Amino acid sequence: MINIDFQDRSPIYLQLIKKIEEMAAKGFLAPNEQLPTVRSLAMELAINPNTIQRAYGELEKKGVIYTVPGKGCFVSPATNTLLNRKKQELLAEVTLKIKEACAIGISQEEFLEECRKAYKLCAKEEKK
């Protein structure tokens, strides 16, 4: 399920957050489903429990999961909200990129064309 890219320069806990957010937003994680325990996931990924803990902690503050101390962590039921928030975050990031594209003079047509190509690639990959 969850795999960490140790080559990636972005912190492990952020990678974790992103992965779990995506899975929750896309519905791979059922509402109220229990997540792996801190310790078990730490073992599985060969990571320090503190790092998992941090990711879970921040996910809770974001409202993606809720945690019952002594029991475990569970997926928050508000899936729709999650999906929407995630969408907006992503589109905001793309808007930033588009600003840069404008700045170096990439035309809208060229840009959109590239997006279409990228989308085709994704479609292919998903079929696998």
* Cα-Cα end-to-end distance for the chain: 16
Given DNA, a second copy, none, residue 106, with its beta carbon under 5 to 8 Å by kind, binds a second copy
Q: Kindly report the backbone phi and psi dihedral angles of residue 68, in degrees, each rounded to the nearest multiple of 5, phi listed first.
A: -110, 105
Short-list 49, 27, 31, 106, CA closest to 16: 49
Binding mask 31-50 for DNA (x = CB under 7 A): ----x-xxxx------xxxx
Cβ neighbours of residue 25 closer than 8 Å, sequence gap 6 or more: 79, 82, 83, 86
Range 87-96, long-range pairs (CB < 8 A, 24+ positions):
none
Q: Does 79 bind DNA (CB under 7 A)?
A: no
What six digits make up the tokens of 40? 């078990």
Nearer to DNA, 5 or 126 (CB): 5
Given DNA, a second copy, none, residue 78, with its beta carbon under 5 to 8 Å by kind, binds none
Q: Which residues bind a second copy (CB under 8 A)?
A: 6-7, 9, 11, 22, 25-26, 61, 66, 68-69, 71, 83, 86-87, 90-91, 93-95, 97-106, 108, 111-112, 114-116, 118-119, 121-123, 126
Give the interface segment with DNA, choosing from 18-26, 30-38, 89-97, 112-120 (CB under 7 A).
30-38
* Of positions 13, 24, 64, 76, contacts DNA by CB under 7 A: 13
- Taking the C-alpha atoms of residue 34 and residue 74, their distance in angstroms, rounded to an integer, is 4
Give the interface segment with DNA, choosing from 7-15, 18-26, 85-93, 99-107 (CB under 7 A).
7-15
